[in-house]
Structure 1
Amino acid sequence: MVIRIFFSLILGMLLINSSVVQAEGNSQYKLASGDVIRINVFGEQDLSFEELRLTDAGTFSYPFIGEVQAKGKTAAEIEQMIIDKLKGDYLVDPRVSVSVLQYREFFISGEVKEPGGYPFQPGLTLRRAVALAGGLTERASEGRITIIRDHDASRTPEAASLDTQVMPGDTITIDQGFF
């Protein structure tokens, strides 16, 4: 009985820490094309949307506001923007929440068994990304991995290891080993 209570407490602490890390990561996450968000305006069903996918330009259309530029902004910044635009003319005291439902994909190519685009998950490492892509081929080199960050305008490949953190929109290439 004591062991069961101990494990329940440990599991509870792990779940709390995991949700805190995810919430902190989500608060700094910059939106871009391909992300899917939820907008909830409390008490206003017509102004709430369950799933809004950002366009290729990183925008979405919203009633009374028009085209909203979300690219490069956090969910909290979008919340504040919607509150500011709705306050006064449309609502007295709007309460808005914006959350990311689905992150844009990352891409992995080269010496993996199933190259392609995969849904990003918070806390994703290159090791887990390779696992999602079916694992490394027998010709893969763990020492010849590059990653191009989505936020890098110059699109410069940087060296990476299996412990490197993957971000949404990143492009990963795993080269062949010669020996």
Structure 2
Amino acid sequence: MSLARYKPVTALALALSALVGLSGCTSYAPAPKAFHEATIQPYRLDSGDRLRVTVFEQPSLSNTYTVDQAGYISFPLIGQVTARGQTLTGLSGAIASELRQGYLRDPDVSIEIDRYRPVFVMGEVGRPGQYSYVPGMTAQNAIAIAGGFTARGNQQNVDVTRKINGQVFTGRTTISAPVLAGDTIYVRERLF
């Protein structure tokens, strides 16, 4: 048997394997439905959020509290309270419920965000890093704060990494898409 007969088959096999390998480098998983729905859901607290908690007629309990790395705030009288994943309404209800357990008769607790956790802008931007989040921020706003696109930056869409219900997802979105506190925005290099 002659090896010349197998050269076209070998060349075809190498070309197909190279194509499959390259397609894996350029592909990405589209963002799941929950990724986009998270932008219209009530705000969920996480590490780094600073909260202004007011307990009506209790100035010694009213203060600012930061959600720690473990997802808790340390509150006077009741100790550690789970904040990660809670809405502001849910957390105020949890604090009021704990305070009712022998500390206050009918506590009136309200919570506001004093400072949101930051967003991170990476890749082809002038000054990659951590930046303050502002409600209503889009990827384009975050990129502008980070010094804008570099000459090589892809200005059509970005990859956003977001934590949803304890799971981390990355999805490709347009630069006009809203971002959430804690998101990481990555500007890829354009091909041409």
Q: TM-score, normalised by structure 2?
A: 0.75
Superposed CA deviations along residues 108-141 of structure 1, whole A, max 9, x for unmatched, are 1011001101111100011111111111011111
Q: CA deviation at 1:151?
A: 2.2
DSSP 3-state at the match of 2:168: coil
Does residue 163 of structure 1 match 2:180? no
Poorly superposed stretches of 4+, deviation over 4 Å: none
DSSP 3-state at the match of 1:128: helix
Q: CA deviation at 1:176?
A: 1.0
Superposed CA deviations along residues 5-54 of structure 1, whole A, max 9, x for unmatched, are xxxxxxxxxxxxxxxxxxxx9991100000000111111111111x2111
**Which residue of structure 2 aligns with residue 42 of structure 1?**
56
DSSP 3-state at the match of 1:45: coil
Does residue 111 of structure 1 match 2:130? no
Structure 1 residue runs of 5 or longer lacking an equivalent are: 1-24
Does residue 96 of structure 1 match 2:109? yes
Tell me if structure 2 keeps the 8 A contact 1:32–1:54: yes
Identity of aligned residues (%): 35
CA distance in 2, matches of 1:26, 1:64: 35
Structure 2 residue runs of 5 or longer lacking an equivalent are: 1-38
Structure 1 147/70 Cα, relative in aligned 2: closer, same or farther at 3 Å? same
Superposed CA deviations along residues 90-119 of structure 1, whole A, max 9, x for unmatched, are 112211111111100111101100110111
CA distance in 2, matches of 1:153, 1:87: 30
DSSP 3-state at the match of 2:111: strand
Tell me if structure 1 keeps the 8 A contact 2:157–2:175: no
DSSP 3-state at the match of 2:92: helix
**Which residue of structure 2 aligns with residue 125 of structure 1?**
138
Alignment of 1:17-96 (within 5 A): 28-49=42-63, 51-87=64-100, 89-96=102-109
Alignment of 1:147-162 (within 5 A): 147-151=160-164, 153-162=166-175
Q: TM-score, normalised by structure 1?
A: 0.80
Say how many residue pairs are matched: 154
Structure 1 68/176 Cα, relative in aligned 2: closer, same or farther at 3 Å? same
CA distance in 1, matches of 2:59, 2:41: 25
Q: CA deviation at 1:78?
A: 1.0
146-155 or 77-86, which deviates more: 146-155
DSSP 3-state at the match of 1:71: coil
Q: CA deviation at 1:155?
A: 3.1
**Which residue of structure 2 aligns with residue 18 of structure 1?**
none
CA distance in 2, matches of 1:116, 1:141: 18
CA distance in 2, matches of 1:132, 1:45: 37
